[in-house]
């Protein structure tokens, strides 16, 4: 079985952004990231977690349950080094609602990244 050959696309200095937002803001954040441009790849995952929110108590059939982990969406984006500030600003502006638990952005270095298509 023969397929398309592996092709080396190039090398670049890039950063990986791990963006954690509330589920109802995920689509808008993805549109904002795409609107900035310079994004090499993007992965979206459903996640659960907490930070300052520390969860909440929920009542069901007269009993209280601790909901320690809240639903979140994790977006991993690889972006060129020169577009980093624009992407971070666009994400923060789009995801911010002014309430606690809006999200976090983690920036990780990827020195130098070799992109290979297959």
Tens digit of each residue's pLDDT (9 = 90 or more) over 2-26: 666 665 556 667 889 999 999 999 9
Which residues share a beta bridge with 15?
79, 109
Q: Is the separation of the CB atoms in 64 and 57 below 8 Å? A: yes
| 1 belongs to a structural domain | no
CATH number at residue 63: 3.30.70.120
Token duo for residue 102: 């809006």
- Give this prediction's pTM: 0.74
pLDDT on residue 6: 62
Query: β-strand 70-80 against 39-49: which pairing, if any?
Result: antiparallel
DSSP symbol at 85: H
* CA-wise closest residue to 70 among 33, 98, 41, 99: 99
| 4 belongs to a structural domain | no
Domain count for the chain: 1
| 42 belongs to a structural domain | yes
Print the domain residue range for 89.
10-113
């Amino acid at each position: 079985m023969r397929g398309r050959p592996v092709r080396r696309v190039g090398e670049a200095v890039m950063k990986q952004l791990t963006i954690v937002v509330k589920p109802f803001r995920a689509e808008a954040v993805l549109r904002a990231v795409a609107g900035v441009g310079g994004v090499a790849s993007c992965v979206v995952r459903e996640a659960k977690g907490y930070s300052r929110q520390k969860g909440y108590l929920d009542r069901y059939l007269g009993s209280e349950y601790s909901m320690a982990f809240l639903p979140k969406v994790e977006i991993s984006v690889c972006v060129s080094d020169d577009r980093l500030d624009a992407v971070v600003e666009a994400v923060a502006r789009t995801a911010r609602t002014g309430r606690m638990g809006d999200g976090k952005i983690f920036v990780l270095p990827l020195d130098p990244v070799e992109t290979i298509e297959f």
